[in-house]
Structure 1
Amino acid sequence: MTLTELRYIVAVARERHFGRAAEACFVSQPTLSVAVKKLEDELDVKLFERGSAEISVTPLGEEIVRQAQAVLEQAQSIKEIAKRGKDPLAGPLRLGVIYTIGPYLLPDLVRQAIARVPQMPLMLQENFTVKLLEMLRAGELDCAILAEPFPDTNLATAPLYEEPFMVAVPRNHPLATRERIDAEELKRETMLLLGAGHCFRDHVLEVCPEFARFSSDAEGIRRSFEGSSLETIKHMVAAGMGVTVVPRLSVPVEPHPHLVYIPFEEPAPTRRVVLVWRRSFTRYEAIAALRNAIYACPLDGVSRLTS
């Protein structure tokens, strides 16, 4: 049994697909499949049920995968302790960021990190919250920038900032001349939402819960549309297809020719953005350096949280 084999079975359990697991591990599918079969033979157990469309994990396999994750985390801790003994800021930091934060924070953050800790390059991964949490647990990421709430996975957290939401409307829309908008007024509008899996979609539905039903019935298609990214949805709004809600950091500095961004009436809806990492991660100085680099970014319109 090797750490590589344990890493492979964790990847297969996460991806539910041998091909995608092999891509995630940067190996060929035959290499991964042979290693998984070798481990199953050694343990004399069946870890996965191989269906035509998707791989499922057997009940015993679930237990073994959980233990494999713990072993991989402990093995990574040994490496981190060794690194820390030399220089906790030396070497890359593997950072995950959700899709609705990455494009708006990372350009400034990367510049700040290079200026402050050039010996600690950031290895970046954008993904959904659930996937980033899985990668954290598996030791494939060191830390992640997420928006609360998210499932409690016994991670250490540090607050970063509180970000208000704003309404984006076409420039020729009747609401475009308003200084502020009440959430109740959006009930009469066609709302454009992010697709399932985005936590920001859930945040918007908390502000406008009446739109939650529109994704599951045919009638709702006339009132609610979905996009794959905030930037795609902004283009849809600019084309006059409806209105949407966006986080403050996604609002560009320069005025848009076809879009107007309007704040909500107080108290405005917000999201709390935090930095999370495994409690066993020992490069505390690296976490502090990353947090300081984030605070050094402009973060226009948000409230920094320091406690």
Structure 2
Amino acid sequence: MTITQLHYVLAVAEYQNFTKAAQKVFVTQPTLSMQIQKLEDELEIQIFDRSKKPIELTEVGKKIVYQAKNIVNESDRIKDIVDQQKGFIGGEFRLGIIPTVMPTLLPMFLTNFIKKYPKVKLKIEELHTEAIIEKLQEGHLDAAIAATPLEFENIKERVLYYEPFVAYTPPGHRLAKEDKIKAEELEVDDILLLEDGHCFKEGILNICKADKNVESSSFQLESGSFETLIKLSNEGLGMTLLPYLHTLDINEREAKNLRMFEEPSPAREVSLIYHKSELKMQIIQALQDIIAGVVRGAIAFQNVKIISPIHK
């Protein structure tokens, strides 16, 4: 039995197809099939039921895959231990970022990070929080940037910054003449929201203390982008809430429609999160330092009230 064979087993279990799995691990399909067959012969069991389409794990195969994940992850960490000892900052690093953070934060730190740590190969994915947690648990991500706090014992969180919610109230809206807005003045059926899956939406519902399944009396609309929400708001269809960093790119005309909240301002906590068994701590620390450096100049809010990204 070899670590390589276990890698092949995990690839087939993930893709449920020998050809796709072979492409994933960069070997020919006959080579992959031969090595898995060799392992099955050695163990005297069948890991995969090849008669099913797509291929399925046998009952004993499911147990083997569970153990193989642990073995492969631990074997991968041997190099991480050596890198840490040498102080080496490099190699592949898989980073997930939630959609409401990606477009504003990534351009702020990516160039600086690449220049300072050219030996790190960042692989970045835009993912919702639920998918991030799943991939961290399965070892498919090294770390992620997400709204916190989250309620997972095996996920560590390092706070990067606190980002206030900002109201966007177009002319003619009932709150447009307010200098600063109170959270209790918000009415959830008057707010244009992001679609389900965005933790920013959950935060807004928590500010409003609203039911998750709230329905508007006139119409119900959810969008995947803040730009769309702003345009709809400009058409008089309601107000919306934006993360502070997103407001920095708004044009001068639309910036007049922004309203801050009275202190303590409702805000989201944005953190670098990773599995408690993660060993690429030198890269995590490097990311934290770079991001903290660039964000410090953009966000200087202290008197804030952290809003949970999990709907209560």
Letter in 1 for 2:260: P
Match of 1:281 among 273, 278, 283: 278
Q: Indicate the residue corresponding to 2:10 in structure 1.
A: 7
> What are the superposed Cα offsets for residues 48-81 of structure 1, whole Å, 9 maximum, x if unpaired?
99799xx998887765554343233213212323
Sequence identity percentage = 30
Report if the CA contact (8 A) 1:91-1:119 is conserved.
Answer: yes
Distance 2:171 2:11 in 1: 51
The unaligned stretches of length 5 or more in structure 2 are 303-312
Report if the CA contact (8 A) 2:87-2:282 is conserved.
Answer: no
Return the offset for 1:128: 0.9
- The secondary structure found in structure 1 opposite 2:279 is coil
282-291 or 255-264, larger mean C-alpha shift: 255-264
Q: How does 1:193-204 map to 2 (within 5 A)?
A: 193-204=193-204
> What are the superposed Cα offsets for residues 97-140 of structure 1, whole Å, 9 maximum, x if unpaired?
11111111000110221343233243211101121122222322
Q: How does 1:18-57 map to 2 (within 5 A)?
A: 26=24, 42=40, 43-44=45-46
- The secondary structure found in structure 1 opposite 2:134 is helix
- The secondary structure found in structure 1 opposite 2:210 is helix
Report if the CA contact (8 A) 2:47-2:58 is conserved.
Answer: no
Report if the CA contact (8 A) 1:190-1:243 is conserved.
Answer: yes
Relative distance call for 1:210 and 1:130 in structure 2 (3 A) is: closer
Distance 1:268 1:197 in 2: 24
Q: How does 1:1-307 map to 2 (within 5 A)?
A: 2-8=5-11, 11=14, 26=24, 42=40, 43-44=45-46, 63-187=63-187, 190-210=190-210, 212-214=212-214, 220=216, 222-258=218-254, 260-299=257-296, 300-303=298-301
Relative distance call for 1:249 and 1:58 in structure 2 (3 A) is: farther
Distance 2:149 2:56 in 1: 28
Report if the CA contact (8 A) 1:99-1:126 is conserved.
Answer: yes
Q: Which has the larger radius of gyration?
A: 2
Aligned residues: 289
Report if the CA contact (8 A) 1:112-1:296 is conserved.
Answer: no
Relative distance call for 1:186 and 1:141 in structure 2 (3 A) is: same
Return the offset for 1:198: 1.4
- The secondary structure found in structure 1 opposite 2:165 is strand
Distance 1:236 1:26 in 2: 43
Distance 2:176 2:57 in 1: 52
68-77 or 269-278, larger mean C-alpha shift: 68-77
Distance 2:56 2:275 in 1: 27
Letter in 2 for 1:295: A
Distance 1:192 1:290 in 2: 33
Letter in 1 for 2:140: E
Letter in 2 for 1:301: I
55-64 or 122-131, larger mean C-alpha shift: 55-64
Relative distance call for 1:146 and 1:241 in structure 2 (3 A) is: same
123-132 or 167-176, larger mean C-alpha shift: 167-176
Q: Indicate the residue corresponding to 1:15 in structure 2.
A: none
228-237 or 140-149, larger mean C-alpha shift: 228-237
Q: Indicate the residue corresponding to 2:305 in structure 1.
A: none
- The secondary structure found in structure 2 opposite 1:210 is coil
Report if the CA contact (8 A) 1:96-1:141 is conserved.
Answer: yes
Relative distance call for 1:57 and 1:115 in structure 2 (3 A) is: same
